[in-house]
Amino acid sequence: MHIHILGICGTFMGSLALLARALGHTVTGSDANVYPPMSTQLENAGVTIEEGYLVEHLQPTPDLVVVGNAMKRGMDVIEYMLDNGLRYTSGPQFLSEQVLQSRHVIAVAGTHGKTTTTTMLAWILQYAGIDAGFLIGGVPLVDTTDEHLQQVFAHSSYLGADKSAYDKSGYFVIEADEYDSAFFDKRSKFVHYRPRTAILNNLEFDHADIFADLNAIQTQFHHMVRMIPSTGKIIMPAATISLEDTLAKGVWTPIWRTAVIDSTLADTSENARALKDSSDWQAELIQEDGSKFKVSFAANEDASAIVNWSMSGIHNVNNALVAVAAAYDVGVSVETACAALSDFAGIKRRMELIGDVNDILVFDDFAHHPTAITTTLDGAKKKLADRRIWAIIEPRSNTMKMGIHQDSLAQSAALADYTLWYEPTGLEWGLKEVIEQAKATSNAIGNQQVLSSIDAIIEHISSHAKAGDAIVVMSNGGFEGIHQRLLTALHNG
């Protein structure tokens, strides 16, 4: 079957394209923005990509058009598809019908950490010898001599050992996004997945372009909760009010709650005891930066082990803990899961070290929300305690562009020693004014500036960064190629 995917370079649709190829279909696609790493892995997999959304991309007529959620009525390609009666579906619906049916689906949902947690869980299962399929909204980093793991994690999705389109028994781990499915299906993507095991990692207001408020997102989360069988499992951090309120609407599935205990801080001991009492799974920090911690399961004294890894940040410890719990739910021992995480290298664009120029480290990170910015910088400060931290941030997500989180932006970057905000042309609100107002009312947000061009940012960094500094570039897009341009400028400077 010939499948054409509209919006193929998105992280979800690109991963879906690889699964369709693995099922034996001929896959083509088009997108308005074609850039690595997704475009590279698609081309390497034999997927033909065309730039732009042109009617001629649907000629000759494909057997099926998979429509990405960036497509809208009024676009020539969509009107052509509808006028000519082409067969079409959404990406989540295609995935549900062609891949997920009859499998034990493990879904990872939440405002933050979905990609990282999904990757961790897929890695644990493969490490443990469970050849589970997966779909991840990102590209894993692979640092292992194991040829099987190298092959499996070469791409952002994997069908699993049994590639039959009709016999799909086994496990499938999926990043469960709350964004809508398509212009003709405004339900969240994850409603299609019908998980048996579900991780609800956190829940905050985001995607203001499609959700009116937090309650609207909670409603979608509860649609998924309604589908989880009573023999399944829900795994979530303890004391998360937004999630507890969601489950108060009704829950029919056993719940495991998790907690990260920071016993390195004496003044949190009372809070630590309360969290421990209210949680089934705990991760107790051994190193303050989260690079070493002990995992334990309250219901089984023998189910405990230590993770000693290259990752950092309390948010990643939480991600790891829910992944270990989910793996345990499908038969992986805590000891094996922790050993797997100790060999885990991470994924691209999550505090990924992309260059070291004259002892100036440059990291790429996907942070797209004030909470994500704060947690990323917290991990960076603790791990790179002897370095000055520069944050370069592009407010690119739809919610950011709308200015929904503008009042918390300056504070979210307070942990950086220096912050450069990029204000692109056409931003509907004044980023510079917001940051300047925050600076005028608080001395605790650090040295922050707003610049309106990539060239100006690169010039400023090149002139002021010193050996021993670390630069964290944060955006959920290509950021106009700033990463390589910055490395080149530092090298030439």
Alpha-carbon gap, residue 360 to 358, rounded angstroms: 6
Per-residue pLDDT band for 484 (boundaries 50, 70, 90) equals confident
**What is the predicted pLDDT for the residue at 403?**
63
Per-residue pLDDT band for 360 (boundaries 50, 70, 90) equals very high
Q: Which helix (H) or strand (E) covers residue 449, if one does?
A: strand 447-451
pTM exceeding the 0.95 threshold for the entire prediction: no
Token reading at 77: 């390609």
**3-class secondary structure, 99:** helix
Higher-pLDDT residue of 432, 335: 335
pLDDT at 44 over 50: yes
Alpha-carbon gap, residue 117 to 119, rounded angstroms: 5
**What is the predicted pLDDT for the residue at 447?**
87
Alpha-carbon gap, residue 107 to 177, rounded angstroms: 9
**3-class secondary structure, 355:** strand
Of the ranges 25-34, 245-254, 371-380, the best mean pLDDT one: 245-254
**What is the predicted pLDDT for the residue at 165?**
41
Token reading at 453: 């061009």
Token reading at 103: 């499998």
Alpha-carbon gap, residue 343 to 345, rounded angstroms: 6
User: For 398-456, what is each residue's pLDDT tens digit?
Assistant: 666 666 677 778 888 888 988 998 887 777 777 888 888 777 777 767 788 888 899 99
List Cβ neighbours of 278 (8 Å cut-off, separation of 6 or more): 238, 239, 257, 259
Domains and CATH numbers, the chain: 2-86 (3.40.50.720), 95-342 (3.40.1190.10), 352-492 (3.90.190.20)
CA 455, distance to chain mean position in Å, is: 28
| b/e 52-89 (16+ beta carbons within 10 angstroms → b) | ebeeebbeeebebbbbbbbbeeeeebbebbeeeeeebb
Q: Are 332 and 125 in contact (CB under 8 A)?
A: yes
Average pLDDT over residues 452-463: 91
Of the ranges 44-53, 160-169, 259-268, the best mean pLDDT one: 44-53
Per-residue pLDDT band for 265 (boundaries 50, 70, 90) equals low
Per-residue pLDDT band for 267 (boundaries 50, 70, 90) equals very low
